[in-house]
Amino acid sequence: MQTGMNETDHKSHSLHLHLPGTLDLREFVALMSALMAMTALSIDTMLPALPDIGRELHVLHANDRQLIITTFFLGLAGGALFYGPLADHHGRRPVLLGALVLMLVSTLLCTFASSFQLLLIGRFLAGFYAAAGRVLVLSIVRDCYKGDMMARIMSLIMFTFMIVPMMAPALGAGILALAQWRWIFGLLAILVGALALWVGLRLPETLDPAHHIRVHPRELAATFMRVVTNRTAIGYMVASGVMMGGLLGFLVSIQQVFFDVFHRPGMLPVGFAVICVWMAAGNLFNGRLVQRFGARRLSQSAVIAVIVLSIAHSLVALAGMESIWIFMLIQGMTTMCFSFAGVNFSAISMEPFARGAGFASSLQASLTTLISALLGGMVGAAFNGTTIPISLGFLCFGAITLLLILWAERGRLFTRPGHAHLRDQEPLNPVR
C-alpha cells in the first residue's frame, strides 16, 4: 500500500491502493456497475417471458410461474452467506471469477432446460452464484478507496444499478419479439461470460495481503451470536426482510397485473420503468435527506407512509375505482418509500459492529433476502386476478415492520442517537 498519498492524488488516479495503473476510474466503475447490474438483469428481463415459459414447459397454474423469480432470490439468500468470509480468506478475484463461471454454467442450464423443474434448479444455482457480485462489489470498492472517494464511487455504481431495472423488461420484450424466451437466458449467458472474461483479464486482486482473514468456525460463530443477540441489529435486519417481502410480492405479481388485471401486456415495460423512476428518485433524495433528518426518522416515516398508501390502495381497489394509471401512481409512491427504508435499515443494523462487519454484512444480506423471498412468494401465490393481494401484502408487512422497529427501539420512534455508544467496544477473542 502506498504511503503519503494525499486526497488530491487519490482523486486524480484510480486504484492506487493496490492496483497501480491497472484500471482507470471509468473502467473500474463500469466493471463494478456491471457486476451489480447482472442481478437485476437476471430478474427483470424474465417478466415479459413468464407466460411463454409457462406454456412451453407446461406450468398448469399461472401463479407457479412466479417461482422463476422467487427461486432466484432464494439462491441469492443462500449465496450471500458465504462469499464475504470466502473472499476475506482467499481474496476477491478468485472467488468472484469462480462464481461468474459457475453462474454462466447455471444460466446455460436454464437456456436448455427441458422441464420446469430443471429450469428452477438452474435459476436457484444462478442466484446462488450471482450473490457474489452483490456481496463483493462493496468489498472491492472498500479495498481501493476510502472516505469521500468511496462514497462517490458507490453513488455512481448504485445510480447505474437503478437504471438497469427500468430497461430490463423492455429488453426481454424486445428479445421475445424476435426470438423464443430461451434467447433471454442465452443473452444472459453471453453477458455473464463477457463479464467473467472482463474480470479475468482486467481486475487484479484488490485485497491487501495483510488484510487476509483466516476463516475459523469459532470466530464466525462468535460473530453470528453477536448479530443475533444485538437487539438493534437483528430487529432492523428482520424488519428489512419483512418490508422487502412486500416489494418482492409486487415484483413477482407485476406481470400478471398488467396482463390479467388491466389487460395491457404492452404496457408492462413502460409501466415498470415508470415505477422504477420513483424508486430511483427516492435513492437520489435519500442521500441528502438522511443527513438532515437522520436514518431512523427518515426510514420510520417511510414505513408509516407505506402503511397509509397501502390502506388507500386497498380502498380504491375494493371500490372498483382502480385504473392502470392509479395503480402506477400508488405503486410508484410506495416504491419510493422503500428507497428511504431499505438503505437506512441496512446502515442502522450495521451500526453496532466495529469488528466482524464483513460477516455481519453477509448475514444481513442472506437473512433479509431469505425473508423477503419467502414472504414475497406468499403474496405472489395469493394472486387472484386483482391487485388486492399486493396492497394487503404491503399493508400487513408494513405493520409488522413497524412493530419490529418498536421492539428494536424499545418503544421509541423518530430518535436520532449518536453512533459511538451503539458500537461494540470489546473485540472478538482472536482464534489462533
Q: pLDDT of 83-117, one tens digit each?
A: 888 888 888 899 999 999 999 999 999 999 999 99
What CATH number does residue 110 fall under?
Answer: 1.20.1250.20
Q: What is the pLDDT of residues 195-248, one digit of tens each?
A: 999 999 998 888 878 767 777 787 778 778 888 888 988 999 999 999 999 999
Query: What is the reported pLDDT for 18?
Result: 43
Q: Which residues contact 59 (CB under 8 A, 6 or more apart)?
A: 53, 65, 116
pLDDT band at 429 (very low <50, low <70, confident <90, very high): very low
Residue reference for cell 423477503: 372
Query: What is the reported pLDDT for 149?
Result: 64
| Number of compact structural domains in the chain | 2
Please calculate the CA angle 10-11-12 and round it to the nearest 5 degrees.
95
Residue 2 has pLDDT above 50, yes or no: no
228 and 367 share one domain:
yes
246 and 188 share one domain:
no
Which cell goes with 418? 449518536
Q: Which of 215, 239, 258 is the last residue of a domain?
A: 215
Query: What is the reported pLDDT for 105?
Result: 97
Task: Count Cα atoms within 13 angstroms, Cβ side, for 121.
Answer: 10
In a domain, 8, yes or no: no
198 and 259 share one domain:
no
In a domain, 330, yes or no: yes
Q: Which of 215, 231, 246 is the last residue of a domain?
A: 215
Range of the domain at 106: 15-215
Query: What is the reported pLDDT for 353?
Result: 64
In a domain, 150, yes or no: yes
264 and 126 share one domain:
no
129 and 33 share one domain:
yes
Please give the DSSP secondary-structure letter assigned to residue 319.
Answer: T
Which cell goes with 64? 407457479
Please give the DSSP secondary-structure letter assigned to residue 429.
Answer: P
Q: What is the pLDDT of residues 134-154, one digit of tens each?
A: 888 878 887 777 655 665 677
pLDDT band at 11 (very low <50, low <70, confident <90, very high): very low
266 and 310 share one domain:
yes
Residue 19 has pLDDT above 50, yes or no: no
In a domain, 403, yes or no: yes
Q: Which amino acid is at 397?
A: F
204 and 305 share one domain:
no
Query: What is the reported pLDDT for 107?
Result: 97
176 and 239 share one domain:
no
Please calculate the CA angle 155-158-343 and round it to the nearest 5 degrees.
90
Q: What is the pLDDT of residues 174-207, one digit of tens each?
A: 999 999 999 999 999 999 999 999 999 998 888 8
pLDDT exceeding 90 applies to what percent of the chain?
54
Q: What is the pLDDT of residues 256-309, one digit of tens each?
A: 999 999 999 999 999 999 998 998 888 778 767 877 888 889 999 999 999 999
207 and 230 share one domain:
no
pLDDT band at 355 (very low <50, low <70, confident <90, very high): low
Q: In angstroms, rounded to a whole number, what is the distance separating the alpha carbons of residues 343 and 290?
A: 10
In a domain, 359, yes or no: yes
Q: Which residues contact 193 (CB under 8 A, 6 or more apart)?
A: 104
Burial of residue 288, with CB atoms counted within 10 A of its CB: 0-12 exposed, 13-18 middle, 19 or more buried: exposed
What is the pLDDT averaged over residues 116-145?
89
Q: In angstroms, rounded to a whole number, what is the distance separating the alpha carbons of residues 82 and 353?
A: 19
32 and 145 share one domain:
yes
Q: Which of 170, 188, 215 is the last residue of a domain?
A: 215
In a domain, 123, yes or no: yes
In a domain, 431, yes or no: no
- Residue 72 · residue 127 · CB < 8 Å: yes
23 and 41 share one domain:
yes
Residue reference for cell 415484483: 251
pTM of the model: 0.83
- Residue 33 · residue 154 · CB < 8 Å: no
Q: DSSP string spanning 73-111?
A: HHHHHHHHHHHHHHHHHH-HHHHHHHHHHHHHHHHHHHH
Q: 217-228 vs 231-256: helix axis angle to the nearest 10? A: 80
Which cell goes with 50? 413468464
In a domain, 76, yes or no: yes
Q: Which amino acid is at 37?
A: A
161 and 50 share one domain:
yes
Residue 6 has pLDDT above 50, yes or no: no
What is the pLDDT averaged over residues 44-50?
93
